[in-house]
Amino acid sequence: MATKPTESITILSLRKLSLGTAEPQVKEPKTFTVEDAVETIGFGRFHIALFLIMGSTGVFWLAGSLLIIGLASVVIPTIGWRWLIRIASIPGIILIMAFKFIPESARFNVSTGNTQAAVATLEHIAKMNRSVMPEGKLVEPVLEKRGRFADLLDAKYLRTTLQIWVIWLGISFAYYGVILASAELLERDLVCGSKADSEVVVTGGDSGESQSPCYCHMFAPSDYRTMIISTIGEIALNPLNILGINFLGRRLSLSITMGCTALFFLLLNICTSSAGLIGFLFMLRALVAANFNTIYIYTAEVYPTTMRALGMGISGSLCRIGAMVAPFISQVLMSASILGALCLFSSVCVVCAISAFTLPIETKGRALQQIK
């Protein structure tokens, strides 16, 4: 009889002991993503170097255009256009050499499964910035689905994609067309009251060029000034362009600027003064630059994250097609019929304006879509 109480007490004690003892917890290994590493490393010398190298590629677009015009005004009359090309290629060669110091994207390496290379890149950045890496193992969440070309032609985005492609091709066609047409119009000296046929001057430093069938009309200093002033127009409408896309919306703003581009192409055929020609070219450069800005923004906003890079890349490829076609119109066709070339440019801009106005999706005030 005495053993039963002892047995119950013992069982009760064991139960209390088991409840009071905490189970051992297994610590999960620390992990971090590329974004976590970038935040931990912070801004430093690496980002400054990256800004200087990559930023210089964008500065050759406007500032480079101005510099090449100024260089041409000095080099072509003295030692010829061949030396202009040789000198103009020097910054590009230096830039190619500078790319050696830019590492591969850590995010790209992780997405392809090359985690070791991504860690090496992040460690290199941390060393340059005199910072430290976050503790743990580098991981990256795997996307369930990546964008495919077929997604762009899905029923949800088919109409948008086709109209965007038309707009990209037309904008690049008009942009490079007006640049090349500017030189063609100035060479023909179409200002009212001026001499229609300027004197033919053979350019180049070699005596052998005098026997070449290729002749050029030498630009006067006033022609170079006109080119510089019209080039500055690419930044003239930026404030109005920003206000337009934010208050009027992307579609309406783009359709207005494309319609105005078509109008100013036709105005180039009007007999006008030198100041009038400069004004038309200035407005054309401003409008075509505004068109590019708006379509860049719209394309990036209309597609979800999984398709955004693919949509931008394919649109940019079509943009190059428009750039390749432009010289055949602005130089070859224009040499036969100025009115015909200008009407063709204007017609393409009208088609783009209609396409922009009828786009099925307005991205103003619309949050970026993460998935399809």
Q: Provide the pLDDT for residue 201.
A: 41
138 membership: H or E segment, kind and range: strand 137-138
Of the residues 122, 142, 162, the one at which a domain ends? 142
Helix or strand or coil: residue 143? coil
pLDDT of 331 > 50? The answer is: yes
- Closest among 264, 267, 241, 243 to 254, alpha carbons compared: 241
235 shares a domain with 111: no
Range 52-75 average pLDDT: 78
| Cα separation values, 274 from 223, 236, 254, 258, 286, Å | 10, 20, 29, 25, 18
Last residue of a domain, one of 84, 119, 142: 142
Predicted local confidence at residue 207, as pLDDT = 42
Q: Which residues pair with 137 in a beta bridge?
A: 31
Tell me whether residue 16 is in a domain. no
* The total number of structural domains that make up the chain: 2
22, part of any domain: no
CB 66 within 8 A of CB 231: yes
Mean pLDDT, residues 37-65: 78
Residues in contact with 195: Cβ distance below 8 Å, sequence separation at least 6, in sequence order: 189
The pLDDT of residue 252 is 92
How far apart, in whole angstroms, are the C-alpha atoms of residue 358 and residue 46? 45
CATH (domain of 153): 1.20.1250.20
pLDDT the model gives residue 146: 67
Decide if 302 is inside a domain: yes
367 pLDDT more than 70: no
Flag whether pLDDT at 344 surpasses 90. yes
Long-range pairs, 287-290, Cβ under 8 A, ≥24: 287/237, 287/257, 287/260, 287/261, 288/171, 288/174, 288/175, 288/178, 288/261, 289/175, 289/233, 289/234, 289/235, 289/237, 289/238, 290/237, 290/238, 290/240, 290/241, 290/257
Tell me the range of 51-60, 158-167, 193-202 where mean pLDDT is highest.
Answer: 158-167
Task: Provide the pairing of β-strand 137-138 with 31-32.
Answer: parallel
Contact between 233 and 285 under an 8 Å Cβ cutoff? The reply is yes
> Averaging pLDDT over each range in 1-15, 55-69, 179-193, 241-255, which range is the top one?
241-255
Residues 222 and 120 reside in one and the same domain: no
CA neighbor of 330 nearest in space, from 188, 202, 208, 162:
188
Distance in angstroms (rounded) separating the CA atoms of residues 360 and 363:
10
pLDDT at 164: 94
More confident residue, 192 or 83: 83
Q: Is the pLDDT of residue 206 over 60?
A: no
- Are 111 and 153 members of one domain? no
Q: Strand, helix or coil at 32?
A: strand
Range of the domain at 305: 147-189+218-371
- Pair 61, 166 in one domain: no
59 in a domain, yes or no?
yes
Query: Residue 177 pLDDT more than 80?
Result: yes
Confidence of residue 34 (pLDDT cuts 50, 70, 90): confident
For residues 120 and 37, give the distance between their C-alpha atoms in angstroms, rounded to a whole number.
12
Banded pLDDT at 19 (limits 50, 70, 90): low
235 shares its domain with 103: no
Q: By three-state DSSP, how is residue 141 classified?
A: coil
The reply to whether 155 and 282 lie within a common domain is yes
| Beta bridge partner(s), residue 138 | 32
Q: Which residue, chain included where needed, has tokens 């602005």? A: 330
Domain-embedded: residue 199: no
pLDDT digits (tens, 9 = 90+) for 244-282: 888 888 899 999 999 999 999 999 888 777 888 888 889
Same domain, 266 and 160: yes
**Smallest Cα–Cα separation from 63: which of 287, 184, 235?**
235
Instruction: Let me know whether 137 and 159 are in one domain.
Output: no
Contact 323, 173 (CB under 8 A): yes
Residue 224: which of 11, 65, 49, 70 has the closest Cα? 70
Asked, for residue 334, whether it belongs to a domain, the answer is: yes
Specify the higher pLDDT residue, 180 or 22.
180
| pLDDT of 208 higher than 90 | no
Residue 278, pLDDT score: 85
Between 172 and 35, name the one with better pLDDT: 172
| pLDDT given at position 47 | 82
**Same structural domain for residues 59 and 131?**
yes
Q: Are the beta carbons of 219 and 186 closer than 8 angstroms?
A: yes
Q: Is the pLDDT of residue 81 over 90?
A: no
Examine the fold and report which residue of 142, 174, 198 is the final residue of a domain before the chain moves on: 142
The two three-digit tokens of residue 74, written as one number: 């000095």
Half-sphere CA count of 211, side-chain side, radius 13 A: 3
Which pLDDT tens digit goes with each residue over 117-139?
A: 888 888 888 888 888 888 888 88
Specify whether 255 is located in the same domain as 272.
Answer: yes
* 124 shares its domain with 156: no
50 within some domain: yes
**Does 356 fall in a domain?**
yes
Examine the domain organization and report whether 262 and 363 are in the same domain.
yes
